[in-house]
Structure 1
Amino acid sequence: MDKITRKNSFRQWFSPINLQLVEENVKMMKLDYYTKKLTTESFLELLLFAQLQEVESLHALSDCLFDDQLQKEIDLDSISISQLSRRLNGINPDIFQRIFLDLVTQIHEKTHYSKLVMPLKIIDSSTLPLNLTNHRWAEFRKTKAGVKLHLRLVFMEKGISYPEKGVLTNAKEHDRNQLEVMVDDKECMYVFDRGYLDYERFDRMTDDGYFFLTRLRKNAVIRVVDDFKLPVDSAVLSDQMVLIGTTQNRAENYFRLIKVVDSKGNVLQLITNRFDLSAEEISEMYKSRWAIELFFKWIKQHLNIKKFYGQSESAIHNQVFIALIVFCLNVLAQINTKSKRTILQISRFLRASLWKPAYIWLLKIEGKGAS
């Protein structure tokens, strides 16, 4: 990042967002046709501010405009709650999804993603609960409502993980139905848990040239075809070539079954269609799956996606994609400064220096500021 800048910290953090892309999509979607005051760009900045500051409601966000610095930043001196609500419910979530995907592309480029021999992509989902009375469209169970965020996370070396693709569905949607949507890259290794078990899809993925690693249920029917020899000091219990499934529901391809013991002493049965790696390497790959659990935990704790500002489907989707944009902007700040600070530290330092000159925030996250 450029340290010799007159930008404030918020504007520096915001700078990876491609405003030309935003403008093109605003025109294409006709998002600002009847807008005199709260443009899409100003609304984007306001929602990002709300996420950073963990603003709890549209009422509170409207009150935040009492801040002269915020008024100056988004060129808006006041806005009513009803205007905020109409904008949140009416704006097409595609605009925020495209901004998110553009930031992902930037992260790919800056992390030398394409140079990795076999990137790991972790697939999982998390349900975001909603109030059934206010969200009938998202009915989940008799007394519950919710949406489900299906996510693909890129797991990089040096501990950098970031969301690459997100799909929002009704919470009733089964994880298996999203597997084919999430699998589109033959140059990576997909890691996912038992919720995605589907022998027919495993065959299809294998026949189409996709690599995967997942976990079998304890009661899975297995026929051992061959046993592979393990090193004497291996922590792996067994390494076998197997056929999986019953006569009525059986996969056609041969797979590799590796049994390992987790940190709690439970035996895990890992299934994969890769035979070129050692059993230990496969076992280590599966451990990376916890990165997505940590990601979901992080965004639920530190971003505003537990309490939603609106009741419509568009409002919920908009708020979730804004949260993903915030996370990607923090990752880019971490990468651009080569910072050893955590995403949480970067975010806290930003909140503390939001309207101060950008160099103060940059020096702090680079570890050069005052302790």
Structure 2
Amino acid sequence: MDKNTRLSSFGKWVSPINFEKLYEQTEIFKSDYYTKKLTTKAYILFMLYAHLQESESLHAMSDTLLDEDLQDALGLQSISASQLSRRHNTMDTQILTDIFVNLVTKIKQHHAGQRGSNFPLKIIDSSTLPLNLTKYPWAKFRKTKSGVKLHLRLVYMNKDTVYPDQAVITTAHEHDRNQLEVLVDDREAMYVFNRGYIDYERFDRMTDDGYFFASRLKKNAVIREVASFDVAKDASILSDRMVYIGTTQNRAENVFRLVEVIDTQGKILRIITNRFDLDAMAISEVYRSRWAIELFFKWLKQHVEIKHFYGMSETAVHNQIYLALIAYCLNVLVQLETKGRKSLLRITRWLKAAIWKPAYVWVRRFDGRASP
């Protein structure tokens, strides 16, 4: 299996996963005890392959094992949907979480020292994944609905390269702002989030503790102007002021900066921040970077398989989401290795076209030297 996996394009794609550490974890968690066919490693490779091919069910996954190349890569010739289900529902999510964290560390190492990386933008947002109430009663959040929420922190390197570096999965009823305590932990970054995270008390704590942020302020927020700054002659910047926010009963203690801008659709955005060292246009651009996390969630829902869940337990759902994040990180590592010459979508398409061909066939395509 190892030889075949290393030589193929698929093997090249999954090679950043530390399989030696994975083996150590399988010993600690005893995840391969009494396992006759589908080892932890084979399970992870199979699930990543399923994400890549966007397999809609465990039965569809089982059928793909008619492919002899996949058989060689996984080290098994067949497996039933029921066996896959048992493995998926019992796999310890911590193993997948550790793989995700390790890949994030490798991504950070790739761009360490790059210009701007000493003070990165970290975008915080969440996305709700709807579930059927009958099948997923443990995730109920409305009278007739179930769902889970993926709370994510996304590092913005540039407009072409972003990556998730922390994720929290909760049921959908969990409020976004409850996760700020978990997702804000780096004083060497600037955090960007939307109106769902507005919390004046927490804004005060973040400011007092030395964390920088920019957020869109709600339209009905009460403000009291302290001072006004001159703005550059730019049609998109309406005002730049120092303000108190909140009512007498619920008011932030610190003075913040409020920048009002017009977005590309002609709407007025009110951006609140505790950064006073940047000009208004820079603050506007910082907040505009938030679109990257919307594109990330869109990519996740369109190019890996999280529209259809393979299991109905909480563990199965969490496992599938973490495997999707792992697949994304593997693509980012390829993008960084090839110096960002191609988009993640192009990387994925070429990988699928050359998946069992030698790795060099896939890799040299990035230089335009060959077609898979």
Aligned-residue Cα RMSD (Å) equals 1.4
Using the TM superposition, give the Cα deviation of residue 340 of structure 1 relative to its aligned residue in structure 2, in angstroms: 1.6
How far apart in 2 are the matches of 1:7 and 1:216?
52
2:122 counterpart residue number: 121
Q: Which runs of 4+ in 1 moved over 6 A?
A: none
Query: Hey, what's the Cα distance between the residues in 2 that align with 1:24 and 1:6?
Result: 20
**Aligned partners of 2:67, 2:243: CA distance in 1, in Å?**
64
- Higher mean alpha-carbon deviation, 350-359 vs 339-348, is at 339-348
The amino acid that maps onto 2:334 is: A
1:274 lines up with 2:292 in the alignment:
no
Contact 2:159 2:292 in 1 (8 A): no
Distance in 1 separating the partners of 2:360 and 2:11: 12
State the partner residue of 1:300: 301
Counterpart code for 1:190: Y
Counterpart for residue 73 of structure 1: 73
Q: Output aligned runs, 1:113-262, within 5 Å.
A: 116-157=117-158, 159-233=160-234, 235-262=236-263
1:104 aligns with 2:96: no
Q: Do 1:310 and 1:316's aligned partners in 2 also have CA atoms closer than 8 Å?
A: yes
CA gap 1:37/1:55 in 2 versus in 1, 3 angstroms: same
Taking the aligned partners of 2:255 and 2:183, their CA distance within structure 1 comes to 23
In 1, Cα distance between equivalents of 2:203 and 2:337: 38
Aligned-pair identity (%): 60
Distance 1:221 1:292 in 2: 28
Deviations 1:142-177 (A, max 9, x none): 111000000000001352111111110000000011
- 3-state SS of paired residue (1:325): helix
Q: Compute the TM-score of the two structures, normalised by the length of structure 1.
A: 0.96
The alignment of Structure 1 onto Structure 2 pairs a total of residues equal to: 367
| Cα 1:192/1:158, change in 2 over 3 Å | closer
1:220-249 CA deviation, whole Å, 9 max, x = no partner? 000000111122346311111100001111
Q: Which residue of 1 aligns with 2:351?
A: 350
- Write out per-residue CA displacement over residues 291-338 of structure 1, whole angstroms, 9 at most, x where no aligned residue: 000110111011100110100000000000100111110111111122
Deviations 1:239-271 (A, max 9, x none): 111000011110000100000011111111100
Q: Return the letter of the residue paired with 1:56.
A: E
Task: Look up the match of 1:18.
Answer: 18
Change (3 A) 1:310 1:39: same
Q: Secondary structure at the match of 1:237?
A: strand
Corresponding letter in the other structure for 1:163: P
Q: Residue 113 and residue 168 in structure 1: after superposition, are their counterparts in 2 closer, same or farther (change >3 A)? A: farther
Contact residue 71 and residue 77 of structure 1 kept, 8 A: yes
Amino acid of the structure 1 residue aligned with 2:97:
Q
Is the CA contact 1:124–1:150 (under 8 Å) kept in the aligned structure 2?
Answer: yes
Change (3 A) 1:283 1:302: same
CA distance in 1, matches of 2:6, 2:212: 48
Residues in 1 aligned to 2:371 and 2:10: alpha-carbon distance in whole angstroms: 20
Q: Go from structure 1 to structure 2 and tell me whether the alpha carbon gap of 1:200 and 1:339 turns closer, same or farther (over 3 Å shift).
A: closer
Question: Hey, what does 1:365 align to over in structure 2?
Answer: 366
Distance in 1 of aligned mates of 2:94 and 2:114: 26
2: CA distance, partners of 1:284 / 1:127: 26
The answer to whether the 8 A contact 1:243-1:251 is kept is: yes
Distance 2:20 2:217 in 1: 47
Question: What is the CA distance between 1:363 and its match in structure 2?
Answer: 1.1
1:156 counterpart SS class: strand
* Secondary structure in structure 2 of the residue aligned to 1:161: strand
Q: 1:113 to 1:164 in 2, by over 3 A?
A: farther
| CA contact 1:124–1:192 (8 Å) conserved in 2 | yes
Unaligned runs of 5+ in 2: none
What secondary structure, in the 3-state scheme, does the structure 2 residue paired with 1:257 have? strand
Give ranges in structure 1 of 5+ residues lacking alignment.
Answer: none
Using the size of structure 2 for normalisation, the TM-score is 0.96
